[in-house]
């Protein structure tokens, strides 16, 4: 994760349905809350206003396609972009059968947005 940090799993209280697309959407929406801290754990996504528009799971390929909308607000901490990336990708990859993750934010690859600072 970013700058020597470690991602920590937390229980959000949401029950898994067994439908990967639904479960990914619920998990991401829980992550995209507006709290800076969840307990004593820092949430670098808190400044941004993201929402999940759609999630598609192609089980035969193990591919998850996520479409997000909203805006990414940088915190000013140079490590937060990599923290955000680790949180989001780890959240999606926790579900069985997920091998490949593609995430679009307003039609652009989220990984590129986080890497370029735009």
Q: What is the mean pLDDT of residues 63-73?
A: 96
SS3 content of the chain, % helix, strand, coil (to 5): 30, 25, 45
Task: Report how many domains make up the chain.
Answer: 1
Residue 14 phi, psi (nearest 5): -85, 135
Nearest-angstrom CA–CA distance, 104 and 3: 25
Q: Which of 9-18, 28-37, 51-60 has the highest mean pLDDT?
A: 51-60
Per the structure, the complete domain to which residue 36 belongs is given by: 2-116
Q: What is the mean pLDDT of residues 63-81?
A: 91
pTM of the model: 0.89
pLDDT at 3: 77
User: Residue 108 is part of a domain; what is its CATH number?
Assistant: 3.30.300
Q: What is the mean pLDDT of residues 1-22?
A: 82
- The helix (run of H) or strand (run of E) holding residue 69 is strand 63-71
pLDDT at 64: 98
Q: What is the mean pLDDT of residues 48-67?
A: 97
How long, in residues, is the chain? 118
């Amino acid at each position: 994760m970013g700058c020597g940090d470690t991602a920590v799993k937390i229980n959000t209280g949401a029950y898994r349905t067994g439908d990967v697309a639904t479960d990914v959407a619920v998990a991401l929406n829980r992550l995209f809350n507006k709290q800076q801290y969840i307990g004593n754990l820092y949430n670098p996504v808190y400044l941004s206003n993201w929402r999940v528009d759609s999630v598609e799971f192609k089980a035969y390929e193990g591919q998850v396609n996520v479409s997000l909308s909203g805006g990414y607000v940088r915190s000013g901490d140079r490590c937060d972009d990599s923290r955000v990336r680790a949180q989001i990708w780890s959240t999606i990859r926790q579900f069985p059968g997920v091998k490949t993750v593609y995430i679009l934010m307003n039609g652009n690859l989220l990984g590129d947005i986080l890497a370029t600072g735009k």
